[in-house]
Structure 1
Amino acid sequence: MYEVSVNIFEGIIKGLHYRSFSWPLLATLLIVGWSSGFVGIRYANEEASVMLLLFWRTLLAGLILLPFALAFGPRMSLAAVRDQALLGFMAVFLYLGGFALAIEQKVPTGLVALIADLLPLAVAALSQPVLGERLTTRQWQGTAIAVSGVLIVSFDSLGIGTAPAWAYVLTVGSMLIFALASVLHRRSSTSRMPVHQSLCVQMLTGAVLFGLCAGMQGSLVPPLTQKFALAMAWLVLIATFLAYAVYYTSLRLFPAAKVSAAIYLSPPVTMLWAWMLFSEPLTLMMLSGLVITLVGVWMTSRP
């Protein structure tokens, strides 16, 4: 009962759990939130380094949630905070920071995005041995179709680049770490902590670590520009609060492979963001990949 009172978002979703539109609603919110991270980073990257952006993104998100985490919900035990800090280290610092470092090392952005968006495949592979959640033959077929669609969407931007070998390994490792964090979150007893508390701990953990990295590169003072402020608002409210809150809430209600499958639609939707906001080209091949990905996600997510 207390979860409904202290966590309105999660309570509403749980109330909708047995209605037919609950998963489509969650999936839509997840796709919008997940793909929107590209917009904020792209918009503000000329104003500050990626590490400085990630520091202020996680710090602001954590500080906004902190008074709610302390005032509402059960008292956070040391074990629960420790577990959520570990998840923050994996799902925030290593995941986001790993890809940012790979891009700084000149791994092509298209290749980084493709590897990041193969996350659902890794979650599906880990779900059976870790959670005992087996995918049906139809779901594996849908996964294969969705991956094909992602490859088609990403085809024009793919390249090998000239980055050091460890940077390519880092991209794959970052994706696998987030996949492992996802299945561990679903299995952990402390994952029952209300989302606003767990997300607060994870964001503040990321802020400390990103702050150390950004501090080694220079000052932690943010650019005092309207562009940077708008980007931070976008990254905190949509790419962090919406994306992570919906993702973690969905993991409590649905199989991990089903939830992560929605992320296959992130590259096509990011492509639409780029077309609308930055006038990047939208080709027939990209639209074909979007349709194919939709079919694959539908097959994977069907009950």
Structure 2
Amino acid sequence: MAPKDLLLALVVIVAWGLNFVVIRVGLDGLPPMLLGALRFVLAALPVFFVRRPNLPWRWLIAYGATISLGQFVFLFQAMANGMPAGLASLVLQSQAFFTLAFAALFLGERMRGASLLGLLIAGGGLLLIGLQTGHSTTLLGIVLTLIAASMWAMGNVLTRKFGKVNLMGLVIWGSLIPPIPFFLLSLWLEGPQRIEHALLNIGMSSVLALLYLALVATLLGYGLWSRLLSRYPAGQVAPFSLLVPVVGLSSSAVLLGERLSTLQWAGAALVMLGLLVNVFGGKLWQRLQGTQTA
């Protein structure tokens, strides 16, 4: 990968890793469903300047309902109900294993041995994290984050069915789907009075958080990511996403003062190891077999 593109990849990783700290800041000033609605209203504004992907509306709706609406409904609710930002960045990466499972179930793809081993290792890590629920982490938060990861994974499987499509256009046009359901959920769960109070008393930190979530994490992040995917094989680009929870955990510790227990750190290490085995295990096994054969 060229040095310039490597720098762009690191920009995306930092942008997505800091995203979880910014969500925490946004939730301090806005209720979760209202935050989601406003985020996607802003993210959808470039729709007037970007061509719609060559997909039927039913597929665009399905994409927006899973990877945008479904993922962030549950993620925002998780973080509003005791899920720390750093752990959220890590647990959300379980989407990789949900994607493998859904692809095997709905697309008939075969799950590799390395993926199964990685799933078992990461599952053990999640179990350790779950055993340490308490004042800083709640079981509800972990469960909601796992559901958010499953919605992301469902969106990934849908994207595979689309074939070659402009990812930036898909993200922007898909952002048209979440605002109305988010507003309806906000009316139902948060109520008109809370919405009115939040909008009338919105602070600069909430405004900046919204701008970051819509413009940096969504538009800039996916724009640069799609550029990288258009230039390099997916297998060369995708492993960079493993750095997102590293940035998420470290930035949450520095900026929010989040601290994990020893058992949670052990669980986090197992989840990262499971992700590494999933991404690199198959290639490493093939090289070992090739070496032994030689």
* Pairwise same-fold verdict (TM > 0.5): yes
Asked if 1:273 is matched to 2:255, the reply is no
| CA distance in 1 between partners of 2:48 and 2:116 (Å) | 43
Asked if 1:127 is matched to 2:83, the reply is no
Equivalenced residues, count: 269
Asked if 1:295 is matched to 2:273, the reply is yes
Q: Is contact 1:186–1:251 with CA below 8 Å preserved after alignment?
A: no
Q: Is contact 1:58–1:204 with CA below 8 Å preserved after alignment?
A: yes
Q: Which of 200, 203, 216 is equivalent to 2:175? A: 203
| CA distance in 1 between partners of 2:149 and 2:204 (Å) | 32
Asked if 1:231 is matched to 2:209, the reply is yes
| 1:176 CA drift (Å) | 2.9
| 1:275 CA drift (Å) | 0.7
Q: How does 1:49-198 map to 2 (within 5 A)?
A: 49-63=31-45, 65-70=46-51, 76=53, 79-101=55-77, 106=81, 108-109=82-83, 113=88, 116-152=92-128, 156-157=132-133, 173-189=147-163, 192-198=164-170
Q: Evaluate the alpha carbon distance shift between residue 274 and residue 102 of structure 1 in structure 2; reply closer, same or farther with a 3 A threshold.
A: closer
After superposition, the CA RMSD in angstroms is 4.1
Deviations 1:73-110 (A, max 9, x none): xx655x43442222101211122113434666x5x526
| 1:187 CA drift (Å) | 1.6
Deviations 1:106-161 (A, max 9, x none): 5x526x94864432221111222333443332332233333434544565446896
In structure 2, stretches of 5+ residues that fail to align are 284-294
| CA distance in 2 between partners of 1:169 and 1:284 (Å) | 21
| 1:231 CA drift (Å) | 1.1
Structure-1 residue corresponding to 2:219:
241
Q: Evaluate the alpha carbon distance shift between residue 187 and residue 25 of structure 1 in structure 2; reply closer, same or farther with a 3 A threshold.
A: farther
| Aligned residue type for 2:275 | V
| CA distance in 2 between partners of 1:213 and 1:140 (Å) | 37
In structure 1, stretches of 5+ residues that fail to align are 1-15
| CA distance in 2 between partners of 1:55 and 1:180 (Å) | 21
Deviations 1:54-84 (A, max 9, x none): 1111111111x223314xxxx655x434422
Instruction: Give me the TM-score of the superposition, normalised by structure 2.
Output: 0.70
| CA distance in 2 between partners of 1:203 and 1:229 (Å) | 19
Q: Is contact 2:65–2:178 with CA below 8 Å preserved after alignment?
A: yes
